[in-house]
């Protein structure tokens, strides 16, 4: 299996001016040649540039998906390679709606490393999720400016409970609760319900469409991904064994077609994207196996 250093060396030894792009696209094409399924990599460089704001899932990503899906044979389905911190719920809903209009539910999510938050929601909209021992999904509890909506509701209910039991505690809780604007609690409740509704509907219509015990399985998945009391932190990394245990349909990366080295090809693609983010000003890339791509670059600061 080519390591990160070996892929970097291959890129450095490539005589082409577009060496980074050329090597990355070579491995994307190799994966398609083996699976005969359309391949789109949907990658963010947030790990390389954690302080930039345009690395998350947003409405602008629809343009990249439209460009990369154009003229593909939709009957071949889609393998969507995801590496993302998550992002906007409305954009996520729109993206899933578009992908399903193009490919139905014949979509597999491939997670080489991390697909957090809204990335996990997109994964739940697929028929199965390919993960390795090093892969992780994340909780899908919605956030408001980094504040977990579930945590706000739990804290508010705790305040009501403690004040009811001991009115003197009103003085303790008042400075905390007063920081919430008048509609904040309601907004938290609505965005939680929205996240829950979207993910449940996608699981019902995709991954568990033909499953007679879908209600029970989906309820367990939703509980493990959404309830703040179980997830503890929005940043929590949920590994493959926990994803399997909660009931998600997971295909272990290590069990893929070993004859055609599918694991090697997927991880080589991942290394290529990480090298691209490290060596260029790209911060987000949507790219298919035919070499069509939309690249979002780091904003340049013009000195006056």
Instruction: Return the pLDDT at 231.
Output: 64
- The Cα–Cα gap between 19 and 1 comes to 20
Instruction: Return the pLDDT at 300.
Output: 57
At residue 276, the 3 state secondary structure works out as helix
105 contact partners, CB below 8 Å, separation of at least 6: 126, 127, 205, 206, 209
Q: What is the largest CA-CA distance in the chain?
A: 75
From the list 206, 221, 159, 163, the residue with the least C-alpha distance to 185 is 159
Whether residue 245 contacts residue 257, with contact meaning beta carbons closer than 8 Å, is answered with no
Sheet holding 238-239, edge to edge: 114-115, 136-137, 238-239
Helices (H), the chain: 4-13, 19-35, 61-69, 89-103, 118-124, 149-165, 170-177, 184-205, 214-226, 228-231, 240-246, 262-279
Its pTM stands at 0.90
Count of C-beta atoms within a 10 Å radius of residue 176: 11
- Where in the sequence of the chain do the CATH 3.90.226 domains occur? 4-138+237-297
Whether residue 248 contacts residue 207, with contact meaning beta carbons closer than 8 Å, is answered with yes
Please determine, looking at this structure, whether the domain spanning 4-138+237-297 carries the CATH number 3.90.226: yes
- The Cα–Cα gap between 285 and 296 comes to 6
Instruction: Return the pLDDT at 257.
Output: 74
| Phi, psi of 139, rounded to the nearest 5 degrees | -60, 155
- The Cα–Cα gap between 297 and 300 comes to 9
From the list 199, 139, 214, 152, the residue with the least C-alpha distance to 180 is 152
Residue 183 exposed, middle or buried by CB count within 10 Å (0-12, 13-18, 19+): exposed
- The Cα–Cα gap between 242 and 197 comes to 22
User: What are the DSSP calls for 43-66, one per residue?
Assistant: EE-TTT-TT-STTSB-TTHHHHHH
- The Cα–Cα gap between 181 and 128 comes to 41
- The Cα–Cα gap between 242 and 247 comes to 9
One digit per residue, the tens of pLDDT, for the chain of length 304 reads: 678 788 989 899 999 999 999 999 999 999 999 999 999 999 999 998 888 878 999 999 999 999 999 999 999 999 999 999 999 899 999 999 999 999 999 999 999 999 999 999 999 999 999 999 999 999 988 776 667 777 788 888 888 888 888 888 888 888 888 888 778 888 888 888 888 999 999 999 999 998 888 899 999 999 899 876 666 677 789 999 999 999 999 999 988 877 678 899 999 999 999 999 999 999 999 999 999 999 999 875 544 4
- The Cα–Cα gap between 301 and 240 comes to 40
- For the chain, how far is it from start to end, CA to CA, in angstroms? 48
């Amino acid at each position: 299996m080519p390591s990160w250093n070996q892929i970097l060396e291959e890129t450095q030894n490539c005589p082409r001016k577009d060496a980074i792009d050329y090597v990355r696209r070579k491995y994307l094409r190799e994966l398609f040649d083996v699976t005969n399924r359309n391949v789109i990599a949907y990658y963010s460089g947030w790990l390389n540039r954690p302080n930039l704001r345009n690395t998350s899932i947003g409405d602008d990503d629809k343009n990249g998906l439209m460009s990369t899906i154009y003229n593909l044979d939709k009957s071949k389905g889609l393998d969507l390679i995801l590496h993302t911190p998550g992002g906007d719920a409305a954009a996520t809903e729109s993206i899933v709606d578009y992908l399903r209009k193009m490919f139905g539910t014949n979509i597999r999510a491939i997670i080489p490393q991390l697909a957090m938050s809204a990335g996990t929601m997109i994964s739940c909209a697929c028929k199965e999720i390919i993960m390795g021992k090093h892969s992780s999904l994340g909780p899908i509890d919605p956030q408001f400016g980094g504040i977990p909506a579930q945590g706000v509701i739990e804290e508010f209910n705790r305040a009501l409970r403690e004040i009811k039991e001991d009115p003197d505690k009103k003085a303790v809780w008042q400075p905390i609760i007063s920081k919430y604007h008048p509609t904040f609690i309601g907004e938290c409740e609505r965005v939680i319900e929205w996240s829950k509704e979207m993910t449940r509907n996608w699981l019902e219509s995709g991954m568990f469409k033909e499953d007679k015990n879908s209600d029970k399985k989906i309820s367990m998945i939703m509980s493990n991904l959404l309830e703040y009391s179980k997830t503890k932190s929005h940043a929590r990394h949920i590994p493959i064994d926990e994803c399997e245990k909660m009931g998600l349909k997971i295909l272990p990366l290590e069990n893929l077609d070993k004859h055609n080295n599918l694991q090697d090809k997927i991880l080589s693609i991942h290394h290529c994207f990480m090298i691209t983010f490290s060596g260029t000003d790209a911060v987000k890339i949507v790219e298919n196996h035919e070499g069509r791509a939309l690249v979002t670059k780091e904003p340049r600061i013009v000195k006056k």
